[in-house]
Amino acid sequence: MVDDKVFGLGDWKLVESSETAMLTQVERAVRDKKWIVFLVWEPHLMNTKFKLTYLDRGDKYFGPNFGGATVNTVSRTRWEQQCPNVGRLFKQMAFNVDLENSVITDVLQNKTNIDTAAFDALKRHPELLKTWLDGVTTASGGNGLQAVQTALGVK
């Protein structure tokens, strides 16, 4: 965008750095109540740590929908045929960027153990379980949704 001189950026200078250095600069700017422009992506801790405003009209450079962050669940080839119950769970499991941002924040900023962060996220969003576990059974053939709700202490 700077090279193309779009958005009035022709006289700007791009300063490349590591993610850590970039976020250090952002923290300084926030602390000093100065504005700063930097590359942001989701999911990432920075989306919950800072009050951000995403700038629009960059689709040509980043793709539609601000770069279109997606979170995918993948498994090895033929997993679904070999384990149809788990395959069904994987097909139905849809993560969203807000959920990912909150778990990342719990783990990285709050120093929460990953298992605890996942457990807490599911307790905060029990509505996900109904979609994820529809028709999924436990190893012994029981109702998967009921088993997980009991384990989480939610209904």
d(C-alpha 119, C-alpha 107), whole Å: 12
- Per-residue model confidence as pLDDT tens digits over 9-48: 989 988 889 999 999 999 999 999 999 988 888 888 898 8
Q: Which of 124, 106, 119 minimizes the C-alpha distance to 148?
A: 119
Alpha carbon 138 to its chain centroid, in Å, reads: 27
pLDDT at residue number 136 = 97
d(C-alpha 3, C-alpha 43), whole Å: 28
Contacts (Cβ under 8 Å, ≥6 apart) of 152? 119, 122, 123, 126, 129
pLDDT at residue number 65 = 83
Cβ–Cβ under 8 Å, residues 123 and 154:
yes
Q: Does 42 or 149 have the greater pLDDT score?
A: 149
Confidence check: pLDDT of 110 > 90: yes
Going from the C-alpha of 103 to that of each of 51, 56, 74, 100, the distances in angstroms are 18, 26, 19, 5
Per the confidence metrics, is the pTM higher than 0.75? no
Q: What residue spans define the domains of the chain?
A: 19-67, 79-152
CATH T-level topology, domain 79-152: D-Maltodextrin-Binding Protein; domain 2 (3.40.190)
pLDDT at residue number 15 = 86
The residues with which 143 forms a beta bridge, in sequence order, are: 137
Cβ–Cβ under 8 Å, residues 122 and 99:
no
pLDDT at residue number 137 = 97
